[in-house]
């Protein structure tokens, strides 16, 4: 069963290795565990619903708790403390586009606010109800998860918007296809959520981001249904799919999604290479991207992330041997791990591997085969569970991300890390910070930074520290030509920084669109566009 106050399935537990806790204690001090609230305590705080009974709507307190918060750090702290803030007044579970339309009509009739809800994996405050004089209806798409049609000739699949990653892949794989979209939240996030928040999967290098995969579909709005037909390409004016991509529930509810799918590849392998320094590693990954070497995944960890990953990998004996070997081959202190994937048939993969090895060798790369690549593959959806282990050990972990042009990557990365590393200095606290690049393009790269800090003595302190760090890093991103989000979207947490990159005219255009589709401001108020 899905956890009500954290990530994933209750049955999955990922432990922090003993040397991992020691590693963190040495860097930022002993952990400071905080007490967790129980579900019973939270249920006792759920107020009576302001909605009338309706066949499509659940007013059950636990259902309302389970749809009140996403997965951002403030969400995590609220759930752990048991202080949720607002709960939706009810959760609707439509099964067809027609039922979505009925629920939107009900919202007009009863003066409701509506929050579209996919998998609730938002990390930017997208789906949290706010205090409102109008009752809040959360609209979960989880019962609309079926593969409705597979056009094998055009390789286009039509899905209900609530299909989660495993539901998308299992239905496609049964027919020999894949979507190839694997965000780290794949286990719980949904197709509609990916489109609505412009998601990027770990293998975007081969399959493309959701923007490339989203071929068309239907948006239900307060002013009618908008059909987006599929075309391989079109010069017929602005592409209306762009109004749906990144709309974050503000313009309407996506009721059907058509995606471009690919035949399952014959084989796939992941490898690790160590580069002797960050500057060599950066040149290496940029060359791979710009030479268009046909890899399916690339992830370059900076030196601190490499060190942290090796420390948290467990097996200290084997890791010590590996480090010794790498040092002998020229990748000692300051080394950076680059993981890459090849996906295709035997001949394609052999050619890609050869090209990548040869190119990386020119930058001092030491190839270590598939062992660490297999480990990455095994853990690729298990990393989010580590937040539980760190929390129990008394540490708070969060991530943030951006993207910028190559010419700016190193400088922006350094500034983000330093804003976080020094962010709690006035309190005498250290912050452990590390970064990787995992979505690379010819012209630039995403930057994905993780930071670990101690919560202090209370939940209020833990949240205040987060707020200080998040604001400092977001300011740095916005002032230094980074986008406020490469893949997590805007939600409420990033909305204050959106005008910096969209400009006044751009913001006005977005607001006009929101009013066009939702004249009474019922859909997810405050998300994407601040109130």
Ligand X SMILES: Cc1cc2nc3c(=O)[nH]c(=O)nc-3n(C[C@H](O)[C@H](O)[C@H](O)COP(=O)(O)OP(=O)(O)OC[C@H]3O[C@@H](n4cnc5c(N)ncnc54)[C@H](O)[C@@H]3O)c2cc1C
Q: Three-state SS for 118?
A: coil
Cα-flanking dihedrals φ and ψ of residue 309, to 5°? -65, -40
Site membership for ligand X, residue 309 (CB under 6 A): no
Which 6-35 positions form the footprint of ligand X (CB under 6 A)?
Answer: 7
Piece in contact with ligand X (CB under 6 A), picked from 109-117, 309-317, 338-346, 476-484: 109-117
As given in the structure block, the two tokens for residue 79 are 């759930």
Tokens standing for residue 299: 């992830």
Nearer to ligand X, 71 or 309 (CB): 71
Which are the contacts of 235, defined by CB distance < 8 A and separation ≥ 6?
none
Q: Which span (74-82, 249-257, 263-271, 416-424) binds ligand X, by CB under 6 A?
A: 249-257
Q: Per-residue contact track with ligand X, 155 to 174, x per CB under 6 A?
A: ------x-------------
Which residue lies nearer to ligand X by CB, 52 or 242? 242
Residue 384 near ligand X by CB under 6 A: yes
Does 196 participate in binding ligand X (rule CB under 6 A)? yes
Q: What single-letter DSSP state applies at residue 456?
A: T
Question: Could you give the string, one character per residue 251-290, with x where binding to ligand X holds by CB under 6 A and - elsewhere?
Answer: --xx------------------------------------
Q: Give the pair of three-digit tokens for residue 153.
A: 């000739």
Question: Which residue among 197, 306, 339, 450 contacts ligand X (CB under 6 A)?
Answer: 197
Decide if residue 199 touches ligand X (CB under 6 A). yes
Q: Which stretch binds ligand X (CB under 6 A): 34-42, 89-97, 117-125, 331-339?
A: 117-125
Site string for ligand X, 35-74 (x = CB under 6 A): -----------------------------------xx---
* Dihedral pair phi/psi, residue 368, rounded to 5°: -120, 15
Three-state DSSP class for residue 349: helix
141 binds ligand X (CB under 6 A): yes
Question: Nearest 5°: CA angle at 387, between 65 and 11?
Answer: 65
- The DSSP annotation for 428-452 comes to T---EEEEEE-SB-SSEEEEEEEEE
* Element of type H or E holding 140: strand 136-140
| x/- track of binding to ligand X for residues 329-368 (CB under 6 A) | ----------------------------------------
SS (H, E, C) 157-211: EEECCCCEHHHHHHHHHCCCEECCCCCCCCCCCEHHHHHHCCCCCCCHHHHCCHH
Q: 20, 119, 246, 423: which one contacts ligand X (CB under 6 A)?
A: 119
Contact segment (CB under 6 A) with ligand X among 103-111, 178-186, 235-243, 426-434 equals 178-186
Give the CA radius of gyration of the chain.
Answer: 23
333 class by beta-carbon count within 10 Å (0-12 exposed, 13-18 middle, 19+ buried): exposed
Closest CB to ligand X among residues 118, 365: 118
Residue 183 is a binding residue for ligand X (CB under 6 A): yes
Residue nearest to ligand X (CB): 193
Nearer to ligand X, 185 or 352 (CB): 185
Total residues interacting with ligand X, rule: CB under 6 A: 38
State the DSSP string of 26-81.
Answer: HHH-S----PPPPHHHHHTTPPPPSSPPBTTEE--HHHHHHTS--SSHHHHHHHHH
- Please check whether residue 457 is in contact with residue 450, taking contact to mean a CB–CB distance below 8 angstroms: no
Interaction of residue 112 with ligand X, rule CB under 6 A: no
Contact 398, 451 (CB under 8 A): yes
**Interface mask toward ligand X for 480-509; x: CB under 6 A:** -------xxx--------------------
Distance CA 65, CA 79 (A): 9
- In the complex, minimum distance from the CB of residue 169 to ligand X, in angstroms, rounded to a whole number: 15
- Contacts with ligand X, residue ranges (CB under 6 A): 7, 70-71, 115-123, 126-127, 141, 161, 183-185, 189-190, 192-194, 196-197, 199-200, 248-249, 253-254, 384, 487-489, 524, 527
């Amino acid at each position: 069963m899905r956890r009500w106050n954290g990530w994933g399935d209750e049955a999955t537990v990922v432990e922090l290795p003993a040397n991992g806790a020691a590693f963190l204690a040495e860097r930022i001090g002993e952990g400071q565990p905080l007490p967790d609230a129980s579900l019973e305590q939270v249920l006792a705080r759920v107020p009576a619903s302001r909605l009338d009974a309706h066949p499509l709507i659940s007013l059950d307190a636990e259902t309302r708790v389970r749809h009140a918060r996403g997965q951002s750090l403030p969400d995590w702290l609220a759930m752990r403390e048991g202080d949720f803030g607002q709960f939706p007044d009810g959760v609707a579970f439509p099964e067809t586009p027609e039922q979505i339309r009925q629920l939107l009509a009900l919202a007009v009739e009863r003066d409701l606010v509506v929050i579209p809800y996919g998998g609730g994996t938002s990390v930017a405050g997208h789906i949290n109800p706010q205090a409102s004089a109008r009752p809040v209806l959360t609209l979960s798409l989880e019962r609309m998860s079926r593969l409705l049609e597979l056009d094998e000739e055009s390789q286009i699949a039509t899905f209900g918007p609530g299909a989660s990653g495993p539901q998308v892949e299992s239905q496609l794989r049964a027919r020999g296809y894949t979507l190839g979209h694997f965000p780290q939240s794949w286990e719980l996030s949904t197709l509609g959520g990916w489109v609505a928040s412009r998601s990027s999967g770990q293998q975007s290098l081969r399959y493309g981001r959701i923007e490339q995969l989203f071929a068309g579909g239907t948006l239900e709005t307060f002013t009618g249904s908008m059909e987006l037909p599929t075309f391989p390409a079109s010069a017929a004016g602005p592409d209306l799919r762009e109004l749906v991509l990144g709309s974050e529930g503000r313009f309407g509810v996506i009721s059907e999604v058509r995606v471009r799918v690919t035949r399952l590849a014959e084989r796939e392998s992941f490898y690790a290479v160590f580069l002797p320094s960050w500057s060599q590693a950066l040149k290496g990954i940029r060359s791979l991207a710009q030479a268009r070497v046909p890899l399916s995944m690339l992830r370059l960890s900076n030196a601190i992330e490499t060190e942290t990953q090796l420390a948290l990998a467990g097996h200290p004996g084997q890791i010590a041997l590996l480090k010794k070997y790498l040092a002998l081959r020229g990748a000692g202190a300051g080394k950076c791990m680059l993981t890459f994937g090849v996906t295709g048939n035997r001949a394609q993969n052999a050619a890609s591997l050869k090209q990548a090895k040869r190119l990386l060798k020119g930058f001092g790369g030491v190839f270590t085969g598939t062992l660490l690549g297999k480990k990455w593959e095994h853990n690729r959806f298990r990393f989010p569970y580590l937040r539980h282990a760190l929390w129990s050990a008394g540490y708070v972990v969060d991530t943030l991300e951006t993207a910028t042009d190559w010419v700016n990557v190193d400088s922006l990365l350094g500034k983000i890390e330093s804003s976080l590393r020094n962010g709690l200095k006035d309190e005498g606290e250290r912050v452990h910070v590390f970064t990787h690049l995992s979505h690379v393009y010819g012209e630039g790269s995403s930057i994905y930074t993780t930071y670990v800090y101690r919560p202090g003595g209370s939940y209020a302190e833990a949240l205040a520290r987060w707020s200080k760090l998040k604001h400092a890093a977001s300011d740095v991103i916005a002032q230094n030509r980074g986008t406020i989000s490469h893949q997590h979207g805007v939600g409420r947490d990033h909305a204050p920084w959106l005008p910096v990159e969209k400009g006044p005219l751009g913001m006005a255009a977005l607001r006009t669109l929101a009013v066009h589709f939702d004249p009474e401001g019922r859909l997810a108020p405050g998300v994407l566009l601040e109130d």
